[in-house]
Amino acid sequence: MRKSLLILLFSIFAIVSLSANADWNPENPFPFSHSLSEAEARVEIEREFVETEPPAGPVRPIAEWEPMKAVMIRYPLGIPVDFIAKMSEYTPVICIVTTSQESAAASTFSNGGVNMDNVSYMNYPTDTYWCRDYAPWFVAYGDEEIGVCNFKYNRPRPDDDDIPKLYAEEQDIEWFGMNLEQTGGNYMTDGYNQAVCTDLVLEENEELTTDEINQKMEDYLGVTNFHITTDPLGDYIKHVDCWGKYLDVDKIIISRVPESHYLFDEYEQVADYFANVTSSYGTPMQVFRCDIPGDYQATPFTNSLILNGKVFIPVTGTSYDDAAIAVYENAMPGYEIIRVNPGPKSWLNTDALHCRTHELADDEMLYIGHMPTNEAPANKPITIEAEFIAYSDTTLVEDKLSIFYSIEGGEFTEAPMIHVENNTYTATIPAQAPQTKVAYYIHGEDNAGKTANHPYIGSPDPHTFSIGDVGVDENTLCLGKLGNNYPNPFNPETTINYSIADSNEITEITVYNIKGQLVKQLVNSKLNSGKHSVIWNGTDNNNKNVTSGIYFYKMRNGSYVESKKMILMK
């Protein structure tokens, strides 16, 4: 008992001492390193953490490229002032700074050309400038709400750890406490139902099983497909953003070292893993590679920031810069790609621009939920469905809800989205001949002045699909094919027909809602080749009845992936 008391007293003393050292002073404005200091490593994180009930479902994680109301930074700065000036031209900047240092921060910004009309302050102490690691994560949940997910920060830095709750309270939005030790640099999400962390999440939560970790990610963030990978960089930090980054729902960028490098196999293993991942769109993940030397030359290109249609890339003046910019331009057409040179605090391979900033979700955004069409039958009108959610609680501008489609690379034609029920709208693309290439994007506006496209960037990088062959009866179930469900619309249940070509591969049949969130897994096993069917009774994975509306069912068998729609009517 005495020994335990001594350990507790030491821990409290160490945390208090560390916190005291974090108070800014001119002699030592940066008392901490990105990694754990020797003193911190001896401190168990025993501070109180409030775990709340999870958000009301359905829950969806919000991705970096979605509409953002502001970007968070901290003063004293870890980023160059001219970079802040560029962001402030079009996005509000929220700076965390103590009251005593606010005037110094304002002077720095004003002298650096920052748009001061776009700067506001949160007057709280912080321990470090690594906002990415401790700032809030955002979720859309329940009855069209956006909230903050707070997690147990994996550093004994209590001032940093308080920021998510403080931000939520200042913005008057709900926060939810997820008792999972985590860090923002080791969390990437696609904005639908997938996320990736390195196996650091297992090391730091060793008291939990992998299933328990997965359950927390699903309950609090809506992540039903959680990728836990190795860390190819093999460095102290083990953060995803040091070597990889989601660029869109179906795109990821991963660094690549020379074949002669001792970590070459580790990087290729991670790249191969994601090349075999099915995106939330039901299509293969597109993997973009960014060459780096993998040594002392700082080339932290994946440590970039996506912010409201712009991508800020940290560059360091190496011969690799231009090639990295070209990769981003190829992967993200329509985005403005902006180089950011290091300031007084130089970029490192393990610590750059992404680590030192954090985008803050627009809790009044206009959101378009849509599962892209991957294939359509020939000579039949093509129906496109989408869900429009105005988180501002205003109404939609009905004559500004449209689909824009292009045939064989021609000009985009606009067609109206027609209200079906609740938040669901449909539009029709005219029937097309077989093998025709179709591109489209969806656009919407609400009466709060918010606009949205799906995909986010709109016409420069639209959804695309091909029209099927003539003579194929869509009601005929060919070997290795997903068939139709019957009845459709249905209530209370429907039968999904499908057939298996490859009995050596696991077959998955899953149901998703219009937002792309997993509703129900119906099949997940190896099956004999031939015809099969499965019944969906309109319940989710918790056997709760789902609401009426449009749903998608998806089949995967080896490399074959296809999805179709169905309508539940009550």
- What pLDDT score does 2 carry? 35
Do the two domains 59-361 and 366-467 of this chain adopt the same fold?
no
| Neighbour tally for 273: CB within 10 Å | 16
pLDDT over 90 for what percent of the chain? 70
- What pLDDT score does 21 carry? 39
DSSP state of 173: -
Give the pLDDT confidence of 216-234 residue by residue, as tens digits: 999 999 998 999 999 999 8
- What pLDDT score does 35 carry? 72
Task: Name the catalytic one among 131, 242, 355, 478.
Answer: 355
Residue 355 annotated to the active site: yes
- What pLDDT score does 88 carry? 97
- Tell me the CA end-to-end span of the chain in Å, nearest whole number: 62
More confident residue, 467 or 549: 467
- Side chain identity at residue 556, one-letter code: R
| Neighbour tally for 328: CB within 10 Å | 19
- What pLDDT score does 548 carry? 78
Instruction: Enter the tokens of residue 118.
Output: 């776009």
Residues whose CB falls within 8 Å of the CB of residue 515, separated by 6 or more in sequence, listed in order = 58, 60, 192, 369, 387
More confident residue, 280 or 186: 186
The Cα–Cα gap between 300 and 296 comes to 11
Q: Would the pLDDT of 28 be above 70?
A: no
Give the pLDDT confidence of 492-513 residue by residue, as tens digits: 999 999 998 878 889 999 998 8
Instruction: Enter the tokens of residue 232.
Output: 């190819």
Which candidate, 335, 311, 315, 333, places its Cα nearest to that of 324?
A: 315
Q: Would the pLDDT of 110 be above 70?
A: yes
With tokens 């005495």, the residue in question is: 2
The per-residue b/e assignment along 29-62, b for 16 or more CB within 10 angstroms, e otherwise, is eebbebebeeebeebebebebeeeebbeebbbbb
Phi, psi of 537 (to 5 degrees): -100, 20
Write down the architecture of domain 59-361 according to CATH: 5-stranded Propeller (3.75)
| DSSP reduced 3-state for 494 | strand
Question: In CATH terms, is domain 482-568 a member of 3.40.50.300?
Answer: no
Phi, psi of 17 (to 5 degrees): -65, -45
Beta-bridge partner residues of 29: none
- Residues written for the chain: 570
Domain residue spans of the chain: 2-41, 59-361, 366-467, 482-568
- What pLDDT score does 36 carry? 72
Phi, psi of 104 (to 5 degrees): -65, -40
What does the mean pLDDT of the chain come to? 89
Are 273 and 199 in contact, with CB atoms under 8 Å apart? Answer: no
More confident residue, 13 or 200: 200
Residues whose CB falls within 8 Å of the CB of residue 547, separated by 6 or more in sequence, listed in order = 568, 570
The Cα–Cα gap between 312 and 564 comes to 37
- What pLDDT score does 46 carry? 63
pLDDT over 70 for what percent of the chain? 91
Give the pLDDT confidence of 246-261 residue by residue, as tens digits: 999 999 999 999 999 9
Class of residue 337 by CB neighbours under 10 A (exposed 0-12, middle 13-18, buried 19+): middle
- What pLDDT score does 321 carry? 97
Q: Would the pLDDT of 462 be above 70?
A: yes
Give the pLDDT confidence of 252-308 residue by residue, as tens digits: 999 999 999 999 999 999 999 999 998 988 889 999 999 999 988 899 999 999 999
With tokens 């989710």, the residue in question is: 540
Give the pLDDT confidence of 388-422 residue by residue, as tens digits: 999 999 999 999 999 999 999 999 999 999 998 88
pLDDT band per the 50, 70, 90 thresholds, residue 235: confident
Residues whose CB falls within 8 Å of the CB of residue 231, separated by 6 or more in sequence, listed in order = 198, 199, 200, 238, 243
Residues whose CB falls within 8 Å of the CB of residue 91, separated by 6 or more in sequence, listed in order = 68, 70, 71, 118, 307, 308
Class of residue 525 by CB neighbours under 10 A (exposed 0-12, middle 13-18, buried 19+): exposed
- What pLDDT score does 259 carry? 96
pLDDT band per the 50, 70, 90 thresholds, residue 517: confident
Mean pLDDT of 194-220: 96
Mean pLDDT of 374-397: 91
Instruction: Enter the tokens of residue 223.
Output: 């992540």
- What pLDDT score does 124 carry? 96
The Cα–Cα gap between 159 and 122 comes to 13
Helix/strand/coil (H, E, C) string of 62-126? CCCCCCEEEEEEECCCCCCHHHHHHHHCCCCEEEECCHHHHHHHHHHHHHCCCCHHHEEEECCCC
Q: Sheet holding 225-229: strands in order across?
A: 188-189, 194-198, 225-229
Q: What is the largest CA-CA distance in the chain?
A: 82
Q: How far is CA 477 from CA 63, 375, 512, 534, in A?
A: 37, 16, 22, 14
Which candidate, 35, 88, 69, places its Cα nearest to that of 312?
A: 88
The Cα–Cα gap between 144 and 96 comes to 29
- What pLDDT score does 568 carry? 86
Question: In CATH terms, is domain 366-467 a member of 2.60.40.10?
Answer: yes
Considering Cα of 400, then 405, then 411, then 413, what sign does the dihedral take?
negative
